[in-house]
Amino acid sequence: MRIGVLGPLEVRDGAGRPVAVNGTRLRALLIRLALDPGRAVSVDRLLDDLWDGAPPAGGAGALQALVRRLRGTLGHDLLEHGPGGYRLTLDPARVDAVAFERAITAARARTDPAERAAALRAALDLWRGAPLADVADADWAAAPVARLTELHLTAREDRADAALAAGEATALLPELEALTAAHPLRERLRALHMRALHAAGRQADALRVYEDVRARLADTLGADPSAELTGVHLAILRDAPPPGERPRTTLPAALT
């Protein structure tokens, strides 16, 4: 059994066939348990989350009815009840959110930029859409949605950084332009965009990006650009490779 929460809920059996989980609250129960695979979630916590802080009278019975339905869908052995509450006995790696985090951690440990970029791309391919899409409006989902969304964006920045170090600047530009348009005050993204433009031979465009973000930061936050962004700007002004970027030269290294 595999459970996907990085997008609309997706459940597949051992043969890869889709498993239908019908009912808004039943789907919410599965997603809530999948956020803590292998760990018990208390009855009180489940009642509070699934009924938005206002469980019905006899809520424990209503929860038991949901659990029976979920066991009928997934199989009795996958949902266990104990003193601590209910838990999925599923291997955590079979939940895509867990697999995603583990893959990102493993990819970041690679030292070769091209290999790191490829591994990060493979991890990002697990993402199918907005995380926890079926329960995005629930109060209990706000924190995990924010954490997963930030992890996804940081992983995209990491991949862009690795791809730049591997000499793939031009191919990155469309993605970086879209990302910076969506997150205009995110300075690391702006720095990556400037580096990619510079490496592609578009120094004037890179300098315009800096002026745009500098003005936005001042107008919106009353702040100056970070040291990282300023360092990239100075390197471009000097027409030197920004930090982390390969020098654009065919000359042999000087002997010492």
Predicted confidence at residue 256, as pLDDT, reads 44
- Residue 3, strand partner residues: 11, 95
Predicted confidence at residue 76, as pLDDT, reads 86
- Residue 88, strand partner residues: 79
Measured distance CA(5)–CA(66) in Å, rounded: 19
Q: What is the pTM of this model?
A: 0.86
Max Cα–Cα distance, the chain, nearest Å: 82
- Residue 86, strand partner residues: 41, 81
Residues of the chain with pLDDT below 70 are: 240-256
| DSSP result, 134-173 | GGTTSGGGHHHHHHHHHHHHHHHHHHHHHHHHTT-HHHHH
Predicted confidence at residue 254, as pLDDT, reads 44
Predicted confidence at residue 161, as pLDDT, reads 96
2-93: CATH class: mainly alpha
| DSSP result, 20-79 | ---SHHHHHHHHHHHTSTTS-B-HHHHHHHHTTT-PPTTHHHHHHHHHHHHHHHH-GGGE
Nearest to 9 by CA among 17, 85, 24: 24
Sketch the domain layout of the chain as residue ranges.
Answer: 2-93, 169-247
Measured distance CA(171)–CA(155) in Å, rounded: 17
Domain covering 169-247, topology = 1.25.40
Predicted confidence at residue 248, as pLDDT, reads 47
Predicted confidence at residue 58, as pLDDT, reads 79
